Amino acid sequence: MDLRGRGFPSIYRLRVLLMLFHTMARITAEQEVENLSGLSTNPEKDIFVVRENGTTCLMAEFAAKFIVPYDVWASNYVDLITEQADISLTRGAEVKGRCGHNESELQVFWVDRAYALKMLFVKQESHNASKGPEATWRLSKVQFVYDSSEKTHFKDAVSAGKHTANSHHLSALVTPAGKSYECQAQQSISLASSDPQKTVTMLLSAVHIQPFDIISDFVFSEEHKCPVDEREQLEETLPLILGLILGLVIVVTLAIYHIHHKMTANQVQIPRDRSQYKHMG
């Protein structure tokens, strides 16, 4: 916008420029994405935050690895053999994201965009016969883009190039609305690759995600633990509980025995032989 030579006094030109500056700054600040992986004590875990209008709207912590099969020539240069690339999501990755009322998305890029991960979350209301309407969110789609010409993980790949692997009818990490999903156990998700007859496996672990309804900035809401973690926690605590109960039973038994022994020791012993009665009195 050229304000020169149109009869605008300098003060008005300055005000207009300031208004434009603040408008641009506000638009830029409407959405922020941050990679906070450096705050994690786990070197394999990444932490991503999406903020809109100065408030956190999506938080995700997880470690991710992708097992990607690819073809190479056999030693006879006639047959093909399948090798396997293990690709981990590395720290310092570029992140993008968006938040919505019923749909949120996280995108992560690393190794000069040779690899890209997109995770789509949806929130919906379902009907429970006993509890009535219930709102839940879930991971509904995963897309992984990889470049088999990238030499770090792929060596001598046949038909090297970019491939896309997508989930199929995915419904994972199902969580009640208003809660975060937490799972330390490793989970696998199968992705169908555009590389013919190849299936990519995504391995997630140390997961803590909340794509909707975050109340406090940079703070997860109450955790909804995955069934595997709950079962493992029960298996860990059950022996302790049984040990405590057994110890309590032993203590109570010993206490009852001690009280009974003390009471019987204080009672007068009546001799069974009547000839001893003359010695009493």
268 found inside a domain: no
Mean pLDDT in residue range 184-213: 96
Mean pLDDT in residue range 10-31: 47
Mean pLDDT in residue range 245-271: 66
- The pLDDT of residue 245 is 60
CA distance 93 to 75: 37
Are both 97 and 169 inside the same structural domain? Answer: yes
Percent of the chain whose predicted confidence (pLDDT) is above 90: 60
84 in Cβ contact with 67 (< 8 Å): yes
Are both 27 and 63 inside the same structural domain? Answer: no
44 found inside a domain: yes
Percent of the chain whose predicted confidence (pLDDT) is above 70: 71
246 found inside a domain: no
> Tokens standing for 76?
């006879």
Least confident of 18-22, 129-133, 145-149: 18-22
Are both 41 and 27 inside the same structural domain? Answer: no
CA distances, 34 to each of 7, 9, 79, 218 (Å): 45, 42, 46, 11
219 in Cβ contact with 184 (< 8 Å): no
Are both 71 and 179 inside the same structural domain? Answer: yes
- The pLDDT of residue 109 is 97
CA distance 269 to 281: 13
DSSP readout, 129-175? TTTEEEEEEEEEEEEEEEETT-TTT-SS-TT-SEEEEE-SS--EEEE
Confidence of residue 273 (pLDDT cuts 50, 70, 90): low
Are both 199 and 212 inside the same structural domain? Answer: yes
Give the Cα-Cα-Cα angle 154, 112, 153 (nearest 5 degrees). Answer: 15
Confidence of residue 58 (pLDDT cuts 50, 70, 90): very high
- The pLDDT of residue 263 is 73
Mean pLDDT in residue range 133-148: 95
DSSP classification of residue 118: E
Are both 82 and 9 inside the same structural domain? Answer: no
C-alpha closest to that of 220 among 232, 207, 229, 231: 207
> Tokens standing for 1?
């916008």
Are both 40 and 21 inside the same structural domain? Answer: no
Are both 165 and 57 inside the same structural domain? Answer: yes
Q: What's 219's domain CATH number? A: 2.40.160.110
**pTM assigned to the model:** 0.71
Chain position carrying tokens 């690339």:
85
pLDDT(12) > 80: no
CA distance 50 to 98: 7
Are both 3 and 102 inside the same structural domain? Answer: no
Are both 61 and 12 inside the same structural domain? Answer: no
Q: Which residues contact 178 (CB under 8 A, 6 or more apart)?
A: 135, 212, 213, 221, 222
Are both 156 and 177 inside the same structural domain? Answer: yes
**Residue 3's domain spans which residues?**
1-31
Q: How many domains does the chain have?
A: 2
CA distance 258 to 237: 32
Are both 24 and 45 inside the same structural domain? Answer: no
pLDDT(1) > 60: no
| Long-range residue pairs from 27-34, CB within 8 A, at least 24 positions apart, any chain | 29/53, 29/54, 31/97, 31/98, 33/95, 33/96, 33/97, 34/95
The helix, strand and coil proportions of the chain, stated in percent and rounded to the nearest 5, come to 25, 40, 35
CA distances, 172 to each of 4, 140, 142, 180 (Å): 58, 7, 10, 13
Pairing of strands 180-183, 223-225: parallel
